[in-house]
Each structure stands twice: as C-alpha cells, then as structure tokens.
Structure 1
Amino acid sequence: MQWRDDGGKSRESTHALKRDADKALRELTAAKVTTGHYLDDAAGSMAFKAWFERWTGSQVWADNTRTNADQALASVPFQDRPVNKIRTSDVQAWVKELTERLEPSTISTRHGTIKSCFKAAVTDRLIHANPCDGVKLPRVRRKAAAMTIPSPAQVKGALDAAPAWFAGFVSVCAFAGLRLGEAAGLQLADIDFKARTITVARQIQGETVKTLKDVPPKHGSERVIYIPKGLVKLLAKHVEEVGVFGDEKWLFGYGGHVLSRHGAGAEWRKIRDATGLGEFTLHDLRHYYASGPIAAGCDVVTVQRALGHATPSITLDVYSHLWPSAEDKTRAAAAGLLADVLAA
C-alpha cells in the first residue's frame, strides 16, 4: 500500500494478507477524515514510556512537578506498549486499580499528567484520539468536606508541645500561612522585624536531606506577608534563643541542615501524637491561617495575596465555604436593625 504523507513524501507499507492491507487502509483513511492528517504507524509504535520521556524532557517544570510526573508514569501498566495500541479501556482499568490504594485527588492528578502526555501525542500526530477522553474518575470529596481546620486551643497545644527549635516553624505556618517548603526556606533577612513583614523569596524542595534544593517559590507565590506583633516576638525569641545557621542565616533546621519535608513531617507527628491532634497536618495550619482574614471580613484578593495563590479563583475554589453566605449577611444586617430598635 502506498500513499503520500503531509510533507508530500511517498510512503508505503507491506502486508502479507489483503485483509490486513484493507484494515490499514481503513485506519489511514479514518485518521485523515478525523484529524485532516495522515498518521504514521511507525511514529505511533514507540513505547509509551519512550514517548513520555521525550514529552517530559521538553517541559519547563519545577522539580516537584517532574517528580509527580515520574510517579504517574511508574504507576501505569502500559509503559512498554506502543502509544497507538493503548485504548480507553486500558486507561480505565488503570484508574480502577489505583482506586484501591490512592486518594481520588491523587488519582485525578496522575490521570491529568497521563492525559496531557497523550494530548501531546495527538498534536504530534502519533495517534488520532486521546485514550484518556471519556475515562471515569473516582469522585473527589468537596474541599469543604475534606478540609480540616484546627481550633485555637489545638494550635496552642501544638505550640506548647513543640521543641524550642521547631516552635517558630509551627508559628509561621499557623500565623503567616506559609507552605511547608516556604517556611523551611526562611532566612533571617526575610524577616523585617520593624515593618513586621515576612518576604517569601524561596522554597525548599526535597523529601530527604540528600535531595534538598533551594528553588524559587511556586509561580505567583512570591509575596510579602504582613504579620502581627505576636509573631514578630515569637520569631525574635527564636533568633535570640535558638539562633540561625549557615552563611545564609537559615531560621529553621536540624543538625545543620534546613528542614526537609520528611523531617518537618516527622517532628510534627511527634507533636500530634503527644497532644492528641489526630490526623491534623502541617498544611492544616495554613487553612487555620486562611480562616482568620476571611472571618475578619477580608476580600478574596487580599486573602489570595496573603496565601500566595496565583489567581483569586484558586482561593475561592479552596476556601469559598468559609466566606459568609448571603443568608449569613442578611441575618447579620437584620440583627443590627433589631438591636437598634430595641435600644431605642
């Protein structure tokens, strides 16, 4: 069978049986009708893993994004199969297998990565359709239902139980809303004790000490946070009693190293077990911080900037349930009217 590709180059394929040639012709014609282009079977015959590596190699990603992508690849059972031989049913079977051991949000993230990889294969004309389209994912719990926010008493209990070197770390998570990596990346120069601000200029990535890396904050997360006097005093106490270390004057660390995700999490679990905090995580302290300005009546843009979200829509997606509803505002307004009348 002979044909010319989109570049005008003469191509041909040989088949032992006529029915195989007819099938190849039908598939070639269908691809032309569907996409407007002929698809080269040879291009789509590379193993999915090989295509995935080529695709990820061209992406401009942060280290943790690449790590998550590698985890997604490692979980798929069709790594060695040709890209053009992977069907929607294969992807659906993979998703079903993941539901037995992973949270729906994690499955959604991994599926999104694999779907983007196949989308690139469609764009490069390796395949004419994305096998991830139409795959049913497990339902993700609503953020309002999944979110846990510790009480003031629980946060105080955590601070009281934290060792002196770690109490400041807990404080910037709870009272400045820093992400774990942002808190680990704080240096003395980032704290303006007079202006009462914290500048988020970097984050620490890496699960262990050996993999630690100082990188810029997430896109849109560079910010200046205005902090209360109480936090300024806590940080000043940390500098005076615990001190800083290294030429960069890092604020938080252990054994001469900045805190890794694993190290900070292990220390937090000790505090959690000692105080009966259940399943609260360090990230839940960020939720605790977010609830403060929202309860104080701050608008979404103010909260977005404080948390370092790239857009207000992200803030609303995560925390919209914490803002007073129209019904709450109506009741508050009516209560004010009632109070005026009764006072008169």
Structure 2
Amino acid sequence: MAKRGPSGDGMVRKREDGRWEGRIVVGHEQNGEPIFRYVLAKTQKELLDKLHRDLGAFQDVELTEDSRMALGEWLDRWMEDYGADTLRSYEQFIRCYIKPYLGDKIVSRVTRMDIQKLYRKLNHEGRVREHPEHGHELSDTMVLRIHAILHRCLKDAEADHVITRNPTDGAVVPKASYKPKQILTKEQMDTFLAADRNKIWRDFFYTELTTGLRRGEICGLMWQDFDEKDGTLKVLRSVNVPKAGELEIGETKTSQGRRTIRLPPSTVQRLKERKKHAVSQWIFPEPLAPEKPVRPSAAYYWMKRILKETGLPETGFHDLRHTFATLSLESGMDVKTLSAMLGHVSAATTLDIYTHVTGDMQTEAAAQIDRGLGNAVQESPAQVEQGSVEDFQPVLRKTRKPGTGCITQINDHLFEGRYSPTWPDGTKHSKCVYAHTREECEAKLKALIQQMNAER
C-alpha cells in the first residue's frame, strides 16, 4: 500500500518485486493533471536519499507535458520552430549523430553523463562512412559542432520548461582543431584581381577582399545598403541555396551579422562607378537574370577558374575572408574593430579562428625569442633607425603614463597592445600588437611606439 513519507519525500511504496518506488510532482499538464517523476531503489533509505536529491533539483521548477517527449521528437519540433537558414545545416548532424544514440530517450531524462558518453562514442566511432585514414573516428571539430547544436537546442528546452537544466552545461568537449587556412599574400591578391577580365567578378572579388564578407552576405548586397556619401555598407541578409535548388534570401548567420561596415575609399569608388550602370536592385545580380542576386555557387566557380588560370594555390572561398582578417591585423586594425566588421559574436572568436601567423609575424616572433634569450639579433635598417629614438621603459601599473600606450587582456592567452599618438596635423593614428603574454606584449608595444614616434 502506498504511503506518504516524511514531509517533502513525496509518495513512496514497496513493490511486489521487493524494490522501493517513489514519485514527486515536477509539473502539470494543460488540464491541471500533475506530472510525476518516478524513482526506484533497492532500499527505503536509498529511495529517500534519491527523492531528497530530486526534490532539490526540481525545486521552483514547473515542467510542461512536453517534458515527456523523446529527445528526437523535441529536436524535430525545435528545428521546425527555429528554422532559420543557418539551422537548416543542423539537420544532417541531428539525423546522423544525435538521434541514433539519444533520440529515443525522454528529453527531461537526458543527463550530463549521457551527453559525455555520446561525445566519447562519436569521437571513437561516430563517422558514418569509414575514412581510409581515420576509420570511423569523428574529428574533434565535428564533435564540437554537434555539442553547439545540442547546447542551443537544450537551452531552448530549459527556457520552455521542458527540462530543469541544460545537461550540456559543464560537459567536457574537445577543442576545435582547424585546418591551416590558405592566406593570399599581397602579391597573390594583385595577381588574382588583375587576372579577372570580367568586370562583374573583378568588382565582386575586390569587394570581398576589402570587406571579408561571408559568401552569402556579399551575394545578398543591395544598392539600398550602400551609402556612397558616408562610405558605408549595411549587411542585412544572406543568400543561400538549400537542397531544393531555389535561391533563398534569409537572415545573416548571427545577430551580430547584421552590421554596418566602413569601406576603404577604393572600394567606395568602385561601387560608385558600378552603380552608374546598375540595372538591378542587387549590387551583384545574376548575369542572365538581373532581378535575382548572384548565386553563391557561381562565385565559387569563378574564383576556382581564376586560381587555375593564374596558377595560384588552391584556395577556398572562405579563405578570402581569412585573408582579409589577417591582412587587417597586419595593417594595425585592432581586434574589436575587426570582429565587428566580420560579424563575429566576440573578439575571441576572431582571434581563435580568423587570424593566422604569416611569414613576417613568424620572423618577428623568432627575433623576440632570441632577444629574450639575450642573443644578438640582426636588425633591419628600419629597426636600426628606430634604435636612435630615446629608449622607452614600459609602465606596468594599471594606470599608464601618457605616451606609453595601453595593454588589454583579450582572453586567458592573448594580450593586445595599442598606441594612439596624435600626428602634427592633429589626426590620431592607432596601431595594435598582439602577444600570448603580457611581457611579450610590452616588448612588442615598445617597438611599435618607437616606430610610430620615428614616423611622426
């Protein structure tokens, strides 16, 4: 016979098989009927311990009847409700990597341990088709993407009172291992742009290399987004082609993707000249159907064609974006400004993914190591000239003296040093340096200040 335990324990009873069963109310259906959570244990004491733990976990929580559905069913509903363009790409991940392992489990019963087991299993045998080199192992980057999908989905489930808390929070996930990006040098960029005799695509790729837009974003640009007076460009939409093959005009990849960027004067001039002969509302229309934006696949085709004709290294379209990011940093653009131009969620994303060490950076880094070890380093003529400037002693206090620049810690492994002197004509010029330690950043900032003071 069922009986009520001590206050707060819920209903408990001993079953015919000798085990103890208890239940607590965790929510209510729309008609007011209670939603129970059942717990089993071998002894009454063990059961009471479990009930106390669950009572604490479900305190101030009111689950809905959707908490009884399977994870796979919730994923389907989530995809339907949150069917933005970016989420369409999640369908394959959910079908191949999440549903086969956790799709049948009740969504409110999924635990962090279940999530952790899923990641380990995918890492070791998650690849659907055997790879000649990696077998059935799934890369860390793929597991990280699956984690991002699950985290976002279950975060919405938590907000909708389908689960008490997000089981992906605190789960150990592998770090992404991105393949080295192919960055075009300045000389290769000149060759690439000079080789394209088709003005449509020459303007297209020039704009891409001076803005770093995503492929769908640059295809979705309209003349109403271009302000030739202020020299700005609004990024408000993205073009993609789903499996059906029809062009779709949708939102940008992230909310930060909706942005206004300032264009270089040369890009402004190109777009102004292009606008004089415009026959479409789209800045880059489909050549044979100007009422439509150009297809992203066409941009990819022309890029590959130009690379082949010029003998340049094999490059993906997204590498043009990486090229813009890297050259921007080399030119002194600070990370926060670059992050805003690229439409990233944070500056840390920009640093971790879109910046790459070029030959010049490696040379400077190697020289810094030698200096740190007390070895002689052969300086370039420009560096020798800088040596004549009065030696600069960095100030390590939080409040720095005027003329010593500033240092900001971007994340746990990156520091940014910035110097913004005022030129004789009254204009202010800012340049930045980056390093993995404060000491290294101070050394780079010192060299930057000497260089900029010499130029004034």
Do the two structures share a fold, i.e. TM-score over 0.5? yes
Distance 1:291 1:212 in 2: 31
- Displacement after TM superposition at 1:173 (Å): 0.9
1:279-301 CA distances to partner (integer Å, 9 max, x unpaired)?
A: 42222222322334433333344
In structure 2, relative to structure 1, the CA distance for the partners of 1:167 and 1:90 (3 Å cut) is same
2:286 corresponds to which residue? Answer: 253
2:363 corresponds to which residue? Answer: none
- Displacement after TM superposition at 1:152 (Å): 1.3
In structure 2, relative to structure 1, the CA distance for the partners of 1:296 and 1:101 (3 Å cut) is same
Counterpart of 1:253, as a letter, is E
TM-score after normalising by structure 2: 0.57
1:226-256 CA distances to partner (integer Å, 9 max, x unpaired)?
A: 2222x3454456557xx5454x244242431
In structure 2, relative to structure 1, the CA distance for the partners of 1:62 and 1:73 (3 Å cut) is same
1:266 paired to 2:310:
no
1:225 corresponds to which residue? Answer: 262
2:85 corresponds to which residue? Answer: 63
Residue among 163, 167, 177 paired with 1:141? 177
User: Aligned to 1:324, what secondary structure does the other structure show?
Assistant: strand
| Structure number with larger C-alpha Rg | 2
Q: Which fold has the larger relative contact order, with Cα–Cα distance below 8 Å and residues 6 or more apart in sequence?
A: 1
Distance 2:310 2:150 in 1: 41
- Displacement after TM superposition at 1:183 (Å): 0.9
CA contact (8 A) 1:72 1:111 kept: no
CA contact (8 A) 2:195 2:306 kept: yes
TM-score after normalising by structure 1: 0.73
After superposition, where does 1:9-88 map in structure 2 within 5 Å? Answer: 17-19=17-19, 21=21, 24=40, 26=47, 28=51, 30-36=53-59, 46-59=69-82, 62-64=84-86, 66-75=87-96, 76=98, 77-78=100-101, 79-83=103-107, 84=109, 87-88=114-115
Distance 2:314 2:16 in 1: 63
Counterpart of 1:19, as a letter, is R
1:37-68 CA distances to partner (integer Å, 9 max, x unpaired)?
A: 7999x965532211223344554x6321x213
User: Aligned to 1:210, what secondary structure does the other structure show?
Assistant: coil
Counterpart of 1:255, as a letter, is L
Distance 2:345 2:164 in 1: 34
Distance 2:141 2:345 in 1: 20
Distance 1:234 1:190 in 2: 15
Distance 2:2 2:196 in 1: 74
CA contact (8 A) 1:208 1:261 kept: no
More deviation, 314-323/215-224: 314-323
Distance 2:356 2:279 in 1: 41
CA contact (8 A) 1:91 1:131 kept: no
Distance 1:118 1:205 in 2: 26
Distance 2:141 2:273 in 1: 39
1:198-222 CA distances to partner (integer Å, 9 max, x unpaired)?
A: 3334322334683422234442332
In structure 2, relative to structure 1, the CA distance for the partners of 1:280 and 1:54 (3 Å cut) is same
Distance 1:273 1:101 in 2: 33
CA contact (8 A) 1:28 1:39 kept: no
1:178 paired to 2:213:
yes
Distance 1:206 1:13 in 2: 58
1:7-30 CA distances to partner (integer Å, 9 max, x unpaired)?
A: x9x989996633374762635554
Residue among 82, 88, 93 paired with 2:121? 93
1:198 paired to 2:198:
no
**Structure ranking higher in helix proportion:** 1
More deviation, 273-282/170-179: 273-282
- Displacement after TM superposition at 1:108 (Å): 1.0
More deviation, 328-337/220-229: 328-337
Distance 1:336 1:120 in 2: 50
More deviation, 130-139/179-188: 130-139
1:158 paired to 2:192:
yes
Distance 2:307 2:172 in 1: 37
- Displacement after TM superposition at 1:196 (Å): 3.9
User: Aligned to 2:239, what secondary structure does the other structure show?
Assistant: strand
User: Aligned to 2:433, what secondary structure does the other structure show?
Assistant: coil
Distance 1:110 1:278 in 2: 31
**Structure ranking higher in strand proportion:** 2
1:47-100 CA distances to partner (integer Å, 9 max, x unpaired)?
A: 2211223344554x6321x21332331122232344336724244313433465
Consecutive unaligned residues of structure 1, counting only runs of 5 or more, are none
2:325 corresponds to which residue? Answer: 290
Q: CA RMSD in A?
A: 4.3
In structure 2, relative to structure 1, the CA distance for the partners of 1:265 and 1:96 (3 Å cut) is farther
- Displacement after TM superposition at 1:225 (Å): 2.0
CA contact (8 A) 1:48 1:80 kept: yes
CA contact (8 A) 1:182 1:204 kept: yes
CA contact (8 A) 1:205 1:261 kept: yes
- Displacement after TM superposition at 1:174 (Å): 0.1
CA contact (8 A) 1:32 1:39 kept: no
Distance 2:151 2:3 in 1: 31
Distance 1:45 1:180 in 2: 41
1:331 paired to 2:352:
no
CA contact (8 A) 2:12 2:20 kept: no
Counterpart of 2:288, as a letter, is G
